[in-house]
Structure 1
Amino acid sequence: MPSDCISFQDSGYFTPLIVDYLNQKETLKPLYKRFPTLENFKLQLEEKQANYSHGSRSVLVNSLLKQYEEVDASKDTLQNIQLLNKENTFTITTGHQLNLFTGPLYFLYKIVSTINLSKELKAAYPQYNFVPVYWMATEDHDFEEINYFNFRNKKIKWPRESAGPVGRLSTEGLDAVLEVFSKELGPGNNAEWLKSLFKKAYLEHDNLADATRYLANAIFGQEGLVIIDADRPELKSLFIPHVKEELTSQVSHHKVAETAEHLSDYNIQVNPREINLFYIEDNLRERIILKDGVYYINNTELQFTETEFLNVLESNPEKFSPNVIMRPLYQEVILPNLCYIGGGGEIAYWLELKSFFEVSNVTFPILLLRNSVLLATQKQADKLDKLGLTWADMFSKQQDLLNRKVQGFSEFQLDFSSQKEFLKKQFEKLSEIAAKTDASFTGAVKAQELKQVKGLENLEKRLLKAEKRRHTDELERITLLQNELFPGRSLQERKANFSEFYLEFDGRLLPDLFSHLKPLEQEFNVVVL
């Protein structure tokens, strides 16, 4: 069996910023406090314990208990909520949008990483408690990003309009989506389970937040996962001082802009606005704009003086919604959190925030890149063996992979490097002679060198094509296998939905993920089902 993991750095699917973070490059160390190692978690929890009040714990627990009143929660989940009252309890958190039917596969990987890390920390530090938390992005308003999922390369879409925070969005119309999905699933016990799960989540709950909570709880509740919807007045009340500071001083803009300068060699993830807050109502989520001392709500007639707006904040904190810059701070204010687990894009924008956290007197969490997984069948693994490939080969760009395999199949060298080197030396001698004559002869020598090199390159390409024709069958099998594992030449985890694999592999998917995913090892896992 080929190797079943590959380092994130060697996978070719992470940006230079994330690769440098994983390699702990010196220039990036000022942007985070502690790298994710088992030893560093002890220091992190000591700092967080000193910087998180018991009053915040009480508000958090009471809010969670309200949110779970209508949820059939497991004993472990309810116990974890109560444990949050204790000073020796901390959270490990991941967040995700309210994608229809979980969206892409990495929704599962984020949560499995969070649960597994919580277990690993409990084993290492048994005198403390670690609660896995899924933060639902209920206040997002980009509906087009979440209103579909892919099933067997077909897009299952919820065709409707949306305004305002998606968590408050009515689930009306999802019965039609279930009808389409059911036809694609076909008959069988696993298909019936998936249909039932979709129906109970989306047809028996009134809004998208409640539906997503049901769905995540049905999949992960037995593991003690705690699901939080932070679009709640009682939780927003804990954040009032930071919202007030943002409205009156715009600290986040200044601090994050400074950090962005430090990241000028990279493509930074987000740029701060002057005020990094939205104003929200059920069908409204619009930017807050400060102009000449007046606060305007973008694309509306609403406007407030500073005194009026601060009064609204005190009486209705739920009307203020953090954007991508402020949301991490909100999370760390209301949770006794040690670590945020996210994808490469998320870690990239968190790396812009440390100085903002420091000036806000909030502990900056450990940042951990979530586990990534390539799911394969035993049949695909057998094909890989027969073709003489490794899993690392599968991560290569397709043309590079095929060219390497043709070279391996061939009985002779397809690379003309030695001939090019010989040619180079010959023309170096000719150039020495030309230098003793006139400029026109020097130019003629250079032109002839370029012509000869170009000719060799063309012959090299023609020879490669000829060899590819000789090995068409093998190359087609390699191409087909890679396309199966990397749909659309992209990562499977960004395209496929968990239902495809549940349908075929019944109850094996989650147990296999829990047994294979080791969050602190930072490797791209291949899981053969």
Structure 2
Amino acid sequence: MASSFSASWLRGDPRALEFLPDRFRHRAARAEAVAAAASRPLAPAIHDVLVARNARLAPSPARERNLELLARSGTTAVVTGQQVGLFLGPLFTVYKAASAIVAARALAEETGRPCVPVFWLQTEDHDLPEIDHCFIPRSAGGLLRVSLEQPDAATSRVPVAHRHLGPGVTAALAALRAELGDGPHASEHLALLERAYRPGATLADAFAEVLSALFADEGLVFLDPRDPRLAPLAAPLHRRAIEEAAAIAGKLAQRGQALSEAGFSEQVHIRPGAPLGFFSPDGIEGARYRIDPASTPGTWSLVGHPQGASVTTAELLSWLEREPLRFTTSALLRPILQDSWLPTAAYVGGPGEIAYFAQLAPLHAHAGLPMPLIVPRARFRIVDDRARRLLDTLGLSPDDVAAPRDELLARLAARDTGGGFESPEAIEARLLGDFASELARLGERMAAIDPTFSRAISRTDKTVRRGISRLTARYGRAITQRDQVRVERVDRLRAYLAPDGAPQERIHGLPYYASRLGSRAFTRLVLEACVPFSGDLKELKP
């Protein structure tokens, strides 16, 4: 089974460092990355687009200063980004933005060069089911899923930049208010969401409005790659990706093979000859399809097209000249576009993005771009007063809650009965241990008499192990259900700290915490807890 690249990389595993050096940990390497980025000034045309895009947001003197800095030679950027999820999506969106801000400050202090945090609004994707909802922990336990409820979400292939909010957002806001309305800061936070997420607005504009308000004092700058004025500036990269597709895919395939041989899997599968881009044949607001080489030379398949359509290289290049906004990047091509437009000293990413960058060195080299520092985003687990009370009542630590639910309940049941019940794991180990030793002794005695007896031993071993496993599982369920109050408390605690067994930051949305603590107060809490250039999990205790 392939190892997690990001986890191995954060541990300093030499196998992972062969593909992605941990330069973010070393001050000298950070200085080198800043110097390399400072030698690539922001093009005036891109700066003009940034100024115009950010002017649509609520005024922020800090953002205006950062935009002025970006116009100056020698200024660098720390970039992060995320898909534009409903109500900002999972908490890690806020953690990413805060991490970029703190890393930019640290690099500026270390090097004496200006460094600006930039948030890349990922609006080119079409994965609406990934971003059309938000989860809120309920005080009674479990999660509330708040969704736009768009019937075409699963089939839509339109870039999310062109998705406008409809009546569904009003119902989603009402559901939030019904669940969170009694929070001490609910009125303030829900009013912010209602101003931004209104029928007729785009998902991207609403997302940017809220996130920019949270980080107005820090001057976070926003870039939307679907801005029509940027499309001609992306065209040279798309042209090169098409014309040099075979060479690029070959280098990436070699990289993928090397990763596999080292025990890791590719985060993004490389298709032979694929140009790493998407094309919208029906117009800039139409469905987008991945471009793959067809069997006929000079022809490309539009993967997923309902009529199985194809397009020639000449047609693609003609459209690229006339209407470059029909072209969008893939997960691997986007960082190259980012680093060709911006003086990127560092990119702040989560585990999946770290794994992308393990594949990307050959692509950066092919494009003649230096690889930026890859900095892991901050990781937090919020242990608020409700969670603390439950932890104290149950006698657990936050780390205990990461265990599977049934295992945690069985452990509590065995502990709280004063030793009257063993844990299911202990019983299974004892039963299997006695059985295995006796079975092994029998096998040794019979080996000389009947060599085929080993097959019967093997069959019996498997049968008995399955039976004991089923028996102890039933035993575990029986003892865990003895105390329904404890079961309900565990479920509430897991909803707060490990929803559905996943990290809290990957499931919970901001509204629950902002309604209880205040939008800006929560943002300050995260910023103050961020440690630059650290990927360690930390606890936030409001």
Contact 2:166 2:199 in 1 (8 A): no
Match for 1:143 among 114, 128, 137?
A: 128
Contact 2:278 2:328 in 1 (8 A): yes
Q: Which residue of 1 aligns with 2:369?
A: 362
Note closer, same or farther for the CA distance 1:457–1:27 as it changes in structure 2 (3 Å cut).
closer
> How big is the alpha-carbon RMSD for the aligned residues of Structure 1 and Structure 2?
3.6
Aligned equivalents of 2:182, 2:451: Cα separation in 1: 80
Contact 1:104 1:495 in 2 (8 A): yes
Aligned equivalents of 2:331, 2:470: Cα separation in 1: 50
Identify which range, 82-91 or 284-293, moves more after superposition.
284-293
Shift of 1:337: 0.9
Give CA deviations for 1:206-264 in whole Å, capped at 9, x if unaligned: 43332222122111122111111122344343433322221112043222222221232
Shift of 1:329: 0.9
Shift of 1:79: 0.8
Match for 1:67 among 39, 53, 56?
A: 53
For residue 51 of structure 2, give the secondary structure of its aligned residue in structure 1.
helix
Note closer, same or farther for the CA distance 1:183–1:518 as it changes in structure 2 (3 Å cut).
same
One-letter amino acid of the structure 2 residue matched with residue 287 of structure 1: R
Contact 1:33 1:364 in 2 (8 A): no
One-letter amino acid of the structure 2 residue matched with residue 277 of structure 1: G
Note closer, same or farther for the CA distance 1:261–1:308 as it changes in structure 2 (3 Å cut).
same
Match for 1:47 among 14, 36, 42?
A: 36
Shift of 1:495: 2.4
Q: Which residue of 1 aligns with 2:285?
A: 282
For residue 261 of structure 1, give the secondary structure of its aligned residue in structure 2.
helix
1:103 aligns with 2:101: no
Match for 1:292 among 297, 313, 320?
A: 297
Give CA deviations for 1:385-419 in whole Å, capped at 9, x if unaligned: 34332221112222333344455455386636578
Q: Which residue of 1 aligns with 2:530?
A: 517
Q: Which residue of 1 aligns with 2:539?
A: 526
Shift of 1:470: 7.1
Aligned equivalents of 1:284, 1:443: Cα separation in 2: 58
Aligned equivalents of 2:291, 2:328: Cα separation in 1: 10
Shift of 1:183: 4.1
1:226 aligns with 2:226: no
Aligned equivalents of 2:223, 2:528: Cα separation in 1: 26
For residue 239 of structure 2, give the secondary structure of its aligned residue in structure 1.
helix
Note closer, same or farther for the CA distance 1:441–1:347 as it changes in structure 2 (3 Å cut).
closer
Shift of 1:372: 2.3
Identify which range, 231-240 or 35-44, moves more after superposition.
231-240
User: Taking structure 2 as the reference length, what is the TM-score of the superposition?
Assistant: 0.82
Identify which range, 328-337 or 274-283, moves more after superposition.
274-283
Q: How does 1:214-253 map to 2 (within 5 A)?
A: 214-250=209-245, 251-253=247-249
Give CA deviations for 1:156-196 in whole Å, capped at 9, x if unaligned: 22234455221133334344544454444436773332332
Aligned equivalents of 2:175, 2:457: Cα separation in 1: 69
Shift of 1:29: 2.8
Q: How many residues align structurally?
A: 512
Q: Which residue of 1 aligns with 2:253?
A: 257
Q: Which residue of 2 aligns with 1:118?
A: 104
Aligned equivalents of 1:465, 1:157: Cα separation in 2: 34
Shift of 1:99: 1.1
Shift of 1:31: 2.1
Note closer, same or farther for the CA distance 1:452–1:139 as it changes in structure 2 (3 Å cut).
closer
Give CA deviations for 1:401-446 in whole Å, capped at 9, x if unaligned: 3344455455386636578657666666665554565558888988
Q: Which residue of 2 aligns with 1:168?
A: 162
For residue 194 of structure 1, give the secondary structure of its aligned residue in structure 2.
helix
Note closer, same or farther for the CA distance 1:464–1:193 as it changes in structure 2 (3 Å cut).
closer
Match for 1:35 among 23, 27, 40?
A: 23
Q: Which residue of 1 aligns with 2:115?
A: 130
Note closer, same or farther for the CA distance 1:421–1:288 as it changes in structure 2 (3 Å cut).
closer
Shift of 1:452: 8.9
One-letter amino acid of the structure 1 residue matched with residue 90 of structure 2: P
Aligned equivalents of 2:453, 2:331: Cα separation in 1: 63
Identify which range, 327-336 or 420-429, moves more after superposition.
420-429
One-letter amino acid of the structure 2 residue matched with residue 235 of structure 1: L
Note closer, same or farther for the CA distance 1:388–1:163 as it changes in structure 2 (3 Å cut).
closer
For residue 500 of structure 2, give the secondary structure of its aligned residue in structure 1.
helix
Aligned equivalents of 1:516, 1:427: Cα separation in 2: 56
For residue 521 of structure 1, give the secondary structure of its aligned residue in structure 2.
coil
Give CA deviations for 1:325-365 in whole Å, capped at 9, x if unaligned: 21111111111112222222222222222111111111122
For residue 136 of structure 1, give the secondary structure of its aligned residue in structure 2.
strand
Shift of 1:117: 1.7
For residue 264 of structure 2, give the secondary structure of its aligned residue in structure 1.
coil
Aligned equivalents of 1:145, 1:442: Cα separation in 2: 51
Contact 1:170 1:207 in 2 (8 A): yes
Aligned equivalents of 2:467, 2:171: Cα separation in 1: 61
Aligned equivalents of 1:452, 1:59: Cα separation in 2: 72
1:270 aligns with 2:268: yes
One-letter amino acid of the structure 2 residue matched with residue 266 of structure 1: F
For residue 203 of structure 1, give the secondary structure of its aligned residue in structure 2.
coil
Query: Could you tell me the percent identity over the aligned residues?
Result: 24
Contact 2:80 2:120 in 1 (8 A): yes
1:396 aligns with 2:391: no
Aligned equivalents of 1:69, 1:519: Cα separation in 2: 29
Contact 1:121 1:130 in 2 (8 A): yes
Contact 2:157 2:289 in 1 (8 A): no
Aligned equivalents of 1:16, 1:453: Cα separation in 2: 30
Aligned equivalents of 1:141, 1:502: Cα separation in 2: 28
Q: How does 1:288-437 map to 2 (within 5 A)?
A: 288-290=291-293, 291-294=296-299, 299=305, 306-307=313-314, 309-406=316-413, 408-409=415-416, 410-411=418-419, 415=426, 433-435=445-447, 437=449
Aligned equivalents of 2:100, 2:398: Cα separation in 1: 25
Aligned equivalents of 1:353, 1:295: Cα separation in 2: 24
Aligned equivalents of 1:129, 1:514: Cα separation in 2: 19
For residue 395 of structure 2, give the secondary structure of its aligned residue in structure 1.
coil
One-letter amino acid of the structure 2 residue matched with residue 481 of structure 1: L
Note closer, same or farther for the CA distance 1:365–1:76 as it changes in structure 2 (3 Å cut).
same
Q: Which residue of 2 aligns with 1:157?
A: 147
Structure 1, unaligned stretches of length 5 or more?
Answer: 1-13
For residue 505 of structure 2, give the secondary structure of its aligned residue in structure 1.
helix
Contact 1:381 1:528 in 2 (8 A): no
Shift of 1:149: 1.9
Contact 1:278 1:288 in 2 (8 A): yes
Match for 2:44 among 45, 51, 58?
A: 58
